[in-house]
Amino acid sequence: MSLQIPKEKNKTLTLPELYEKYSKDIFKYSFSILKNKDDAKDAVQEVFVKYAQNESSFKGNCSYKTWLLVLTRNYCYNKIKSKSFNHERIKDDIWNKNYETDYDTHITIKDALLQLSTEHNELIYLREYECYSYKEIAEVTEQSLENVKIKIFRARQHLRKLLKD
């Protein structure tokens, strides 16, 4: 018996279909926060387990993707707060393979991103690499739209400063 997910865009999705549709997004988002490939893989599994356990609490106020990203964010930040979390820097390639830049520039940008706070890195990732709107970022991070805009502005300023140095 497969778990039935409420309708999204007039189609009922099973849990495996939902996993197929959003697991890559959840992996990339959790990797942007946790900065570790294995932890990001664990996050994907944990998010879908949590979804299956709490499916009835989804009220439909947002898309499934937004709700799954909120679950992902909560899991990742709880993981970071836990004493067992190993605070390593990114060792894997976070950026899409089809995004090509000059190799030296790519290293400079990657190094600068590593120097940003986890929150600023997360916001830059969601806006610049995943192309989420400010409103979507506000929903995912559970912040006001104005607060998101200000934080992204400050993150960009900090990134520019790091790249100039």
pTM (whole model) above 0.75: no
Whether residue 6 is predicted with pLDDT greater than 50 in this model: the reply is no
- Tell me: do 48 and 72 sit in the same domain: yes
- Tell me: do 154 and 124 sit in the same domain: yes
- Tell me: do 119 and 60 sit in the same domain: no
CATH number at residue 63: 1.10.1740.10
pLDDT for the residue numbered 17: 82
Give the number of domains in the chain. 2
Q: CA 74 from chain center: how many Å?
A: 10
Of 38, 57, 88, the position where a domain reaches its end is: 88
pLDDT for the residue numbered 151: 95
- Tell me: do 46 and 108 sit in the same domain: no
**How do strand 4-8 and strand 11-14 relate by DSSP bridges?**
antiparallel
What's the CA angle centered on 40, arms 38 and 42, to 5 degrees?
70
- Tell me: do 75 and 104 sit in the same domain: no
Residue 58 placed within a domain: yes
Look at residues 108, 135, 133, 137 and name the one whose alpha carbon lies nearest to residue 32: 137
- Tell me: do 22 and 83 sit in the same domain: yes
Residue 48 placed within a domain: yes
- Tell me: do 81 and 21 sit in the same domain: yes
- Tell me: do 34 and 76 sit in the same domain: yes
Q: Give phi and psi for 13, each to the nearest 5.
A: -110, 140
Per-residue pLDDT tens over the stretch 81-114: 886 666 554 444 544 444 444 444 444 777 777 7
Whether residue 128 is predicted with pLDDT greater than 70 in this model: the reply is yes
Is the Cβ–Cβ distance between 6 and 60 less than 8 Å?
A: yes
pLDDT for the residue numbered 101: 43
CB-based contacts of 132: which residues, under 8 Å, 6+ apart? 126, 140
Residue 7 placed within a domain: no
Helices (H), the chain: 15-34, 37-53, 64-81, 103-115, 118-124, 134-141, 145-164
What's the domain range around 104? 100-165
What three-state secondary structure class fits 14?
A: strand
Q: Would you place residue 129 in the very low, low, confident or very high pLDDT band (cuts 50, 70, 90)?
A: confident
Residue 95 placed within a domain: no
Calculate the CA dihedral of residues 20, 22, 23, 29 and round it to 10 degrees.
Answer: 170
Of 32, 64, 88, the position where a domain reaches its end is: 88
- Tell me: do 105 and 154 sit in the same domain: yes
Residue 53 placed within a domain: yes
